[in-house]
Amino acid sequence: MTIATQAPPMRYPRLAQPWIALFLAVLAELGIAFFVLNVVAVPLIAVWVGIPMLLVFVPATRWFANCHRTMLAGFTGEPIPRPYKKPPMPGILKWLRTTLTDPATWRDIVWLIVNATIGFTLCLLSAVLFLATLFYLVYPLLVGVTPEGVFTEPFGGLFTVNFWTSFLMVPVALIAFMIWQAAGERLLKANAFMARSLLGPTESAKLALRVRELAESRAETVDTQAAELRRIERDLHDGAQARLAALSMNLGMAEEMVNRDPAQAAALLTEARESASTALSELRDLVRGIHPPVLADRGLEGAVKALALSCPFKVDVTIDIPGRPAAPVESAAYFAVAEALANAVKYSAATNAWIQITHEQEKLHILVGDDGIGGAVIRPGGGLYGIERRLAAFDGTLTVVSPSAGPTTVIMELPCESSSLKTTPSSGTD
């Protein structure tokens, strides 16, 4: 099962809703064709004709349902996830078996007929209320004045209307407008929530997905920790360990030559001192990569401000948290911000950036944005993917909003209970 991560949908403007409702009403009736084709294809599996039919009509139905998930999200205010199972292995028969045993497939088919009746009625009623308002407002303009007087025959001469009494329809327009103002959007929301109950994942599906996400997150966390340990071991072996070994050899050679050749011994000691200084610097860099001292000493606010000062362009920092988060959360947040800023420096061609960190609803909300060229996406192996995996270990989320012309906004959320916030710094330097 897959549930795609999406940015919060945009709400539809009020005046655009009647036309969207009219469009949804037309689509609802087109859905009857998908319903009939799927229902007819299932029994035809026995004669093998239904297999190619299902290979065409089921993906078409899912595409049709996904279009509605996207459009209706503008009324619910949140994305409608896609609760489809993934086939365990590639292949037509594997896909067909997984599809036919997936409850989401049958719920889509049930939704088609429900949408064609209840959904059609709700959308059409919302659209008709608005269209009635427009019609009765312009109705007097449809009634012209004839040379003989104030009578005319609109609509092809079907009936005769008095020009002045046609203005009595204006109050009807106002009544229709008030009804639409009060109920139009609610009718569309009712349709959207009805669709979400059928097109979205069930509670059991959400639970299964949650278990799977936690298992994957735990496995990735273990892999990440193992890779980090291997990196530290490699850095120690290739860096500080090699220099300390050379230092030991130089000291031994200097000890042997101190009486025979003091000048050469002094040169070896000088080289040993330089090697010790370099090894110490490398060890400091290694420790800083594991847990930066500035983070331990000054907390998340001070560490993020230090990151901002090291950037080649201006970075505005706004931090409003009542205390210090727990050390693991604080470290994850720091490295996530550092990676997001590094991406902005490397790829965005930005001239300004901004960082906002707040604590609301038991979550640490982190926003890193820049005014660069945009186009940032999450790719496996990329920096943003690394941030996503780091946050997932803490049940956090990452959302990237980056249109092709910019700006780029990276939105991160980390669970952080108020009870875990330290109201006093861990060091007197804060």
**Which of 77-86, 207-216, 364-373 has the largest mean confidence?**
364-373
What is the pLDDT at residue 238? Answer: 65
How many angstroms separate the Cα of 177 from the Cα of each of 122, 163, 183, 238, 253? 17, 23, 10, 76, 97
Residues of the chain with CATH 1.20.5: 215-290
What is the pLDDT at residue 97? Answer: 83
Residues of the chain with CATH 3.30.565.10: 297-420
Identify which of 10, 3, 26, 5 has the alpha carbon closest to the alpha carbon of residue 76. 10
What is the pLDDT at residue 82? Answer: 85
Is pLDDT of 262 > 60? yes
Q: How confident is the model at residue 6 (pLDDT cuts 50, 70, 90)?
A: very low
How far apart are alpha carbons 360 and 241 in whole angstroms? 46
- The answer to whether 69 and 156 have CB atoms below 8 angstroms apart is no
Identify which of 349, 393, 46, 63 has the alpha carbon closest to the alpha carbon of residue 224. 393
289 contact partners, CB below 8 Å, separation of at least 6? none
For residue 73, what are its two tokens?
């999200």
- The answer to whether 257 and 265 have CB atoms below 8 angstroms apart is yes
Q: In whole numbers, what is the pLDDT of the chain averaged over residues? A: 79
What is the pLDDT at residue 55? Answer: 87
* Domain 215-290 indexed as CATH 1.20.5: yes
Q: How confident is the model at residue 269 (pLDDT cuts 50, 70, 90)?
A: confident
User: Which has the minimum average pLDDT: 142-146, 278-282, 287-291, 299-303?
Assistant: 142-146
The proportion of the chain whose per-residue pLDDT surpasses 70, expressed as a percent, equals: 76
User: Which has the minimum average pLDDT: 99-103, 200-204, 239-243, 311-315?
Assistant: 239-243
What is the pLDDT at residue 411? Answer: 92
More confident residue, 308 or 159: 308
What is the pLDDT at residue 194? Answer: 92
Is pLDDT of 346 > 90? no
What is the pLDDT at residue 20? Answer: 93
Q: Which CATH class is domain 297-420?
A: alpha beta
Per-residue pLDDT averaged across 380-386, rounded? Answer: 80
Is pLDDT of 149 > 50? no
Q: How confident is the model at residue 334 (pLDDT cuts 50, 70, 90)?
A: confident
- The answer to whether 12 and 20 have CB atoms below 8 angstroms apart is yes
Between the CA atoms of 79, 83, 89 and 95, what dihedral angle is there, to the nearest 10 degrees?
A: -110
What is the pLDDT at residue 32? Answer: 92
More confident residue, 163 or 344: 344
More confident residue, 66 or 240: 66
Amino acid at 265: A
- The answer to whether 34 and 64 have CB atoms below 8 angstroms apart is yes
Q: How confident is the model at residue 126 (pLDDT cuts 50, 70, 90)?
A: very high
What is the pLDDT at residue 285? Answer: 62
- The answer to whether 331 and 414 have CB atoms below 8 angstroms apart is no
Chain CA centroid to CA 3, Å: 11
**Entry pTM:** 0.55
Per-residue pLDDT averaged across 358-362, rounded? Answer: 87
Per-residue pLDDT averaged across 120-124, rounded? Answer: 94
